[in-house]
């Protein structure tokens, strides 16, 4: 080896002045060196490609904001050796003239989804098959060559490869898109996805509720595992902890502040992911979905790094007016606004990278250019394809720029990449060129104005199924092109000018619609310019303009153009006021609301300054109605795989966009108790919400409310009505239901005792592994401690009695029996136990276990002192809770009647007491929240119309506003349809698939639907 180096040195010195041979010598030495240094055995002919390349005369973007008008790039051994305008070109370089071309830093695909190979034979893995943090995409990458080639055609040279299955899906990797797929960063992020298998799966989790609970429990376990490992290491003598690769990896990822990438399919899913990140102090990244603009204010508060797809919808087919009805106005608005999404992110200084994820390849550049037309700066677009992903993916000193020492990843375009007419000619990856336009793909057919030396000619080339022919014309003379060959960008032929003269050999290349080269035997240069086809004049070219539509909250029907967060001071005069409190019903009275609270009630109240006066003459004012059993506004209702799922939380799946909320506001509803379904004995934690239409899910939550949880008894939990394929989950009998309850609370007592011992005896536990926080048991301990209410789905008297006895054995009280259709049979026992009852007014005979239901049930329970409410368990019924209350008045006790005021209590103060929020809501009394409804008539009348609904002193519904909103939405729809039908570009595909999440989903206790 030393002798070879000496030979290299002396030979170069000897040949210094003999430049004519220098290139040959260098090539020989490179060839010999490659043989000496290579560790890989050669199979076949040795590749003699030079490792020094000079790309000259190109427009070069060295970064997203700096460029050279006519520069040179020197590539040596796959790296950028130099770049500049007037730089020394090494004598050993292979020169490539890039005249007319633009060279960009190689683009970085930030999200290449890959169906990685599975390695489920791993030992020491997590108990749940959906937790696969141990998977390493770098080792399991399963290349899709067709996809790789398509990415190169778009200009991508590097890809961030992400797995596609599971919940914790494993680590991602950054690799080159060359033939070897060289890895640049082995482990970039841990990928998390809300993967839901649905009701058909009997494996936990099969719902979004369960998925989120599993994510939270796994993070808790990972932190515990990391801490336990430290204790074991510091204080030897412990029994070894069972090795768990997944928890170990996740724990270390958190400790090292490495990113977690959450994949989202909905704008509210982004907010959910950010909440999880905040709870566990994660470095949170978001793989977006194109709907970010809908909740951009909430996203800004967290300011995460985002990877944004630009898969904009194509033109919907609206020519058939009946077919057009299939498209919601929200979908049509998204068609119009989608290209503005990344513009809004840019304007709000949110870091994002652009990805071709989920977009058709032929639409990626087109969609990007649409956003640029609308106002996205080219610099920002280029930055989002290069420097931002390079920085976030940990390779900012190697990729994303064209600088000395960087990897020679380049994107070569025959012009401006952001011009729809240009083409990506090739990508250079690690200094190796990958042509993106295959042989014969460059169209050189047509007529050309040609110059050979100083002589003018016309060149004609024809292409017949990739068989080229041509001729040169001079006046009336024609000269055939013989042996015409087209190879990528290169062309050659020979021509005989007459029968006597020799044949002239021509070679050349195609760059930026120009042909140029050498007529070798004539020792002349030649060039040809294509005779332009007829094109639209500049003033005929139509550029897209930004959407002029307002963003609504939520987006869709009846959305608000601004979020309602300004409380108004309101005085209602001369109204009939149903207080549901000690004052009863007040005739011709006034009520004053200030700062979101009830300030005064009485007659002839003094009018304060800056107050809105509402003439209540002939009107009725009631407290906002309360529904104690609802399944509105959720993306998921049941986690039915296990009998105990107290770890799942309804608050994690709140859908604040659900149109049911607006419809219920129009019926006077202001508060709803959103419950888990009745698929299991111990279901999930509830969420009590105020119907603040337009707000985010977190802002719907009524934070003063006491936490609760759903229990269930009867047919649903023992799977009597699940079909023949679902008969294996314990329990299968009513006897088993009692036993699983007792077992669960026995475990909770033991768990509580262990934690109490840990908290009281810190010194004893100093050298011991601490207890593991268990979300399932945490909720049950809260029940034991009286900090969480039980809302129990129930029908039969025997089961109702059973649960009261179990509760008393464990020294807690059941908060509310839901449905409780045989409650009238055991009303005294309910009173003795201290339970509330939330029942149906007149539902019966809808299944066998309710065969003894009667419409007098509520009144009979109330008669013995049980606090009774009527509930809906239905989006539709929740719109008419005032007339549900009227049924209490109608049926009465054995045909006699209770007072109208007492009947209204069934949907106001009584449910407020059941939810333990009566201190703040449920009645119109001084100091309580300004939640009220204005009715046109007696609220118990079927003729009564809800005219206005207020929450916290903010008007969320009024008939007048509703009419304006309906007209507004009709105008928006009409204008959008007109815009689509008259859109200039009629070549767009009209096969847009509906992707809008449907919000009006009707949930019941036993529903299977998940979305």
Find, among 605, 546, 542, 617, the residue nearest to 570 by Cα. 605
As a whole number of angstroms, the distance between CA 81 and CA 907 comes to 77
- pLDDT tens digit string along 261-292? 999 999 999 999 999 999 999 999 999 999 99
Topology of domain 734-870+881-920, CATH? TIM Barrel (3.20.20)
Structure tokens at 938: 């007696």
Q: Is the pLDDT of residue 476 over 90?
A: no
pLDDT digits (tens, 9 = 90+) for 662-698: 999 999 999 999 999 988 999 999 999 999 999 999 9
Provide the 10 A C-beta neighbour count for residue 825: 20
In DSSP terms, 433 is beta-bridged to 428
Q: Which 3 state secondary structure label does DSSP give 428?
A: strand
Q: Which fold is adopted by the domain 107-399?
A: TIM Barrel (3.20.20)
Count the residues in the chain: 1011
Rounded to whole angstroms, how far apart are CA atoms 662 and 884? Answer: 19
Q: Reduce the DSSP state of residue 974 to 3 states and report it.
A: helix
User: CA-based Rg of the chain, rounded to a whole angstrom?
Assistant: 37
What was the pLDDT predicted at 718? 77
Q: How sure is the predictor about 237, in pLDDT bands with cuts at 50, 70 and 90?
A: confident
Residue 362 dihedral angles phi and psi, to the nearest 5°:
-75, -5
Q: By the 8 A CB rule, do 714 and 677 touch?
A: no
Q: Which residue has the tokens 């001084």?
A: 926
In sequence order, the β-bridge partners of residue 56 are 97
Selection from 970, 973, 1009 nearest residue 875 by Cα: 1009
Do the beta carbons of residue 216 and residue 775 sit within 8 Å? yes
Q: In this predicted model, what pLDDT tens digit does every residue of 403-425 receive, in sequence order?
A: 999 999 999 999 999 998 899 99
DSSP-assigned beta bridge partners for residue 353: 307
Strands 168-171 and 107-113 come out as unpaired
Rounded-to-integer distance, Cα 324 and Cα 316, Å: 8
403/896 Cα distance (integer angstroms): 90
Q: What is the pLDDT of residue 845?
A: 86
Angle at 44 between CA 42 and CA 47, to 5 degrees: 70
Q: Give me 328's structure tokens.
A: 């919601």
The secondary structure of residue 986, as a DSSP letter, is T
Indicate the pTM of the whole model: 0.87
Residue showing tokens 């149903």: 578
Parallel, antiparallel or unpaired: strands 789-794 and 816-819: parallel
Classify 308 as helix, strand or coil: strand
Please give the Cα distance from 937 to 952 (Å, whole number).
23
pLDDT at 373 over 60: yes
Q: In angstroms, how far is the first alpha carbon of the chain from the final one?
A: 66
Any residues with CB less than 8 A from the CB of 392 and at least 6 apart, and which? 110, 259, 285, 305, 351, 353
- What is the Cα–Cα distance from 980 to 403, expressed in whole angstroms? 45
Sign of torsion over alpha carbons 907, 909, 911, 915: positive
How many CB atoms neighbour CB 910 within 10 A?
29
Report strand pairing: 173-176 vs 183-185.
antiparallel
What integer best gives the mean pLDDT of the chain? Answer: 89
CA separation for the pair 322, 233 (Å, rounded): 70
Q: Which two tokens stand for residue 475?
A: 């006046």
Measured at the alpha carbon of residue 439, what is the angle toward residues 438 and 442, in degrees to the nearest 5? 85
Neighbours of 615 (CB within 10 A): 10
Q: Given this chain, do its domains 107-399 and 734-870+881-920 carry the same CATH topology?
A: yes
Q: CA dist 436 to 65, 426, 512, Å? A: 25, 5, 15
CA 869 to chain centre: 39
Q: Looking at domain 446-532, which CATH architecture does it have?
A: Beta Barrel (2.40)
How distant is the alpha carbon of residue 923 from its chain centre? 40
- Mean pLDDT for 163-175 is 96
- Tell whether omega for the bond before 763 is within 30 degrees of 0, i.e. cis: no
| Contact yes or no for 335/555 (Cβ under 8 A) | no
Instruction: List the chain domain ranges.
Output: 107-399, 446-532, 734-870+881-920
- How would you class 597 by CB atoms within 10 Å of its CB: exposed for 0-12, middle for 13-18, buried for 19 or more? middle
Q: Note the pLDDT tens digit of each residue in 501-527.
A: 778 889 988 876 788 888 888 888 999
For residue 236, what pLDDT is reported?
A: 83
Lowest-pLDDT choice from 210-224, 687-701, 807-821, 885-899: 885-899
The SS3 assignment for 403 reads coil
H or E element, residue 61: strand 52-61
CA distance 729 to 640: 10
Give the pLDDT of residue 993. Answer: 52
Whether residue 984 is predicted with pLDDT greater than 80 in this model: the reply is no
Secondary structure string (H, E, C) spanning 433-499: EEECCCCCCCCCCEEEEEEECCEEEEEEEEEECCEEEEEEEECCEEEECEEEEEECCEEEEEEECCC
**For residues 628-652, b (16+ Cβ closer than 10 Å) or e, as one string?**
bbbbbbbbbbbbbbbbbbbbbbbbb
Which has the minimum average pLDDT: 362-371, 718-727, 840-849? Answer: 718-727
pLDDT at 332 over 70: yes
Q: Are 769 and 238 in contact (CB under 8 A)?
A: yes
Report the C-alpha gap between 977 and 326 in whole angstroms.
13
Ramachandran area for residue 919 (φ above 0: left; ψ -120 to 50: alpha; else beta) = alpha
């Amino acid at each position: 080896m030393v002798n070879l180096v000496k030979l290299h040195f002396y030979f170069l010195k000897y040949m210094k002045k003999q430049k004519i041979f220098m290139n040959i010598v260098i090539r020989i030495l490179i060839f010999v060196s490659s043989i000496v240094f290579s560790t890989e055995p050669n199979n076949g002919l040795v590749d003699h490609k030079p490792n020094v390349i000079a790309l000259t005369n190109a427009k070069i973007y060295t970064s997203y904001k700096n460029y050279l008008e006519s520069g040179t790039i020197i590539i040596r051994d796959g790296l950028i050796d130099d770049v500049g305008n007037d730089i020394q070109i090494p004598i050993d370089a292979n020169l490539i003239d890039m005249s007319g071309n633009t060279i960009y830093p190689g683009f970085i695909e930030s999200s290449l989804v890959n169906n990685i190979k599975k390695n489920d034979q791993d030992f020491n893995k997590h108990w749940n098959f959906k937790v696969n943090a141990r998977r390493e995409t770098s080792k399991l990458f399963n290349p899709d060559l067709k996809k790789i080639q398509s990415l190169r055609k778009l200009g991508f040279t590097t890809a961030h490869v992400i797995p596609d299955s599971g919940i914790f899906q494993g680590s991602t990797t950054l690799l080159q898109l060359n033939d070897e797929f060289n890895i640049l960063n082995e482990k970039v992020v841990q990928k998390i996805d809300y993967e839901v298998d649905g009701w058909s799966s009997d494996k936990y989790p099969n719902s979004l509720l369960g998925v989120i609970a599993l994510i939270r429990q796994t993070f808790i376990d990972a932190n515990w595992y990391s801490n336990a490992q430290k204790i074991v290491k510091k204080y030897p003598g412990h029994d070894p902890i069972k090795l768990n690769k997944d928890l170990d990896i996740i724990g270390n990822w958190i400790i090292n502040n490495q990113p977690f990438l959450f994949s989202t399919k909905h704008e509210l899913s982004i907010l959910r992911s950010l909440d999880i990140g905040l709870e566990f102090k994660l470095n949170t990244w978001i793989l977006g979905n194109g709907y970010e603009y809908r909740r951009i204010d909430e996203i800004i508060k967290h300011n995460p790094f985002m990877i944004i797809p630009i898969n904009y919808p194509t033109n919907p087919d609206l020519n058939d007016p009946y077919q057009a009805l299939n498209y919601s106005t929200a979908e049509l608005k998204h068609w119009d606004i989608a290209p503005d999404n990344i513009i809004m992110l840019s304007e709000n200084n949110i870091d994002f990278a652009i990805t071709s994820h989920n977009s058709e390849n032929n639409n990626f550049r087109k969609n990007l250019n649409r956003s640029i037309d609308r106002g996205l700066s080219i610099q920002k677009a280029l930055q989002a394809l290069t420097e931002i992903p390079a920085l976030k993916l940990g390779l900012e000193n190697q990729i994303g720029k064209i600088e000395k020492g960087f990897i020679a990843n380049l994107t070569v375009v025959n012009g401006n990449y952001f011009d729809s007419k240009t083409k990506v000619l090739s990508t250079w990856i690690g200094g190796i060129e990958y042509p993106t336009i295959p042989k014969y793909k460059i169209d050189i057919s047509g007529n050309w104005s040609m110059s050979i030396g100083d002589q003018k000619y016309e060149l004609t080339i024809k292409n017949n199924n990739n068989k080229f022919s041509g001729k040169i014309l001079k006046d009336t003379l024609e000269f055939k092109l013989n042996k015409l060959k087209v190879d990528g960008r290169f062309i050659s032929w020979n021509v005989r000018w007459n029968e006597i003269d020799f044949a002239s050999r021509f070679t050349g290349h195609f760059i930026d619609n120009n042909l140029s080269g050498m007529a070798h035997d004539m020792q002349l240069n030649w060039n040809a310019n294509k005779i332009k086809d007829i094109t639209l004049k500049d003033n005929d070219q139509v550029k897209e303009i930004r959407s002029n539509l307002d963003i609504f909250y939520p987006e869709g029907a009846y959305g608000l153009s601004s979020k309602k967060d300004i409380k108004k001071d309101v005085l209602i005069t001369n109204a009939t006021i149903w207080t549901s409190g000690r004052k009863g019903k007040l005739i011709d009275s006034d009520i004053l609301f200030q700062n979101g609270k009830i300030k005064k009630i009485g007659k002839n109240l003094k009018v304060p300054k800056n107050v809105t006066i509402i003439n209540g003459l002939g009107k009725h004012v009631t407290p906002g109605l309360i529904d104690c059993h609802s399944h509105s506004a959720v993306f998921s209702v049941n986690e039915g795989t296990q009998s105990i799922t107290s770890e799942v939380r309804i608050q994690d799946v709140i859908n604040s966009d659900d149109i049911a909320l607006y419809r219920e506001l129009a019926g006077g509803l202001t508060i709803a108790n959103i419950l888990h379904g009745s698929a299991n004995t111990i279901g999930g934690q509830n969420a009590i919400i105020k119907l603040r239409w337009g707000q985010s899910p977190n802002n719907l939550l009524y934070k003063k409310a006491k936490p609760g949880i759903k229990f269930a008894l009867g047919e649903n939990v023992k799977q009597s009505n699940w079909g023949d394929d679902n008969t294996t989950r314990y329990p299968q009998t009513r006897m088993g239901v009692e036993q699983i309850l007792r077992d669960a609370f026995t475990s909770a007592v033991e768990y509580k005792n262990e934690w109490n011992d840990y908290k009281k005896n810190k010194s004893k536990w100093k050298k011991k592994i601490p207890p593991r926080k268990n979300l399932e048991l945490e909720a049950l301990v809260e029940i034991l401690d009286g900090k969480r209410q039980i809302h129990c789905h129930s029908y039969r008297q025997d089961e109702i009695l059973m649960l009261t006895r179990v509760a008393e054995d464990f020294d807690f009280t059941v908060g509310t029996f839901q449905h409780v259709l045989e409650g009238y049979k055991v009303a005294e026992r309910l009173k003795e136990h201290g339970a509330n009852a939330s029942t149906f007014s007149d539902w019966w005979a809808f299944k066998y276990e309710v065969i003894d239901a009667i419409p007098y049930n509520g009144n009979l329970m109330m008669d013995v002192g049980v606090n009774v409410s009527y509930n809906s368990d239905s989006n539709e019924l929740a719109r008419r809770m005032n007339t549900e209350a009227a049924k209490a008045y109608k049926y009465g006790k054995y045909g006699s009647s209770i007072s109208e005021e007492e009947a209204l209590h069934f949907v106001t103060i009584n449910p407020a007491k059941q939810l333990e929020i009566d201190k703040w809501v449920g009645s119109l009394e001084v100091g309580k929240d300004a939640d009220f409804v204005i009715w046109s008539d007696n609220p118990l009348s079927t003729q009564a119309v809800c005219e206005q609904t207020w929450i916290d002193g903010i008007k969320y519904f009024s008939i007048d506003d509703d009419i304006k909103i309906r007209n507004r939405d009709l105008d928006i729809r009409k204008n959008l349809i007109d815009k689509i039908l008259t859109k200039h570009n009629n070549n767009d595909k009209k096969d847009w698939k509906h992707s809008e999440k449907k919000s009006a989903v009707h949930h019941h206790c036993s529903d299977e639907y998940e979305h």
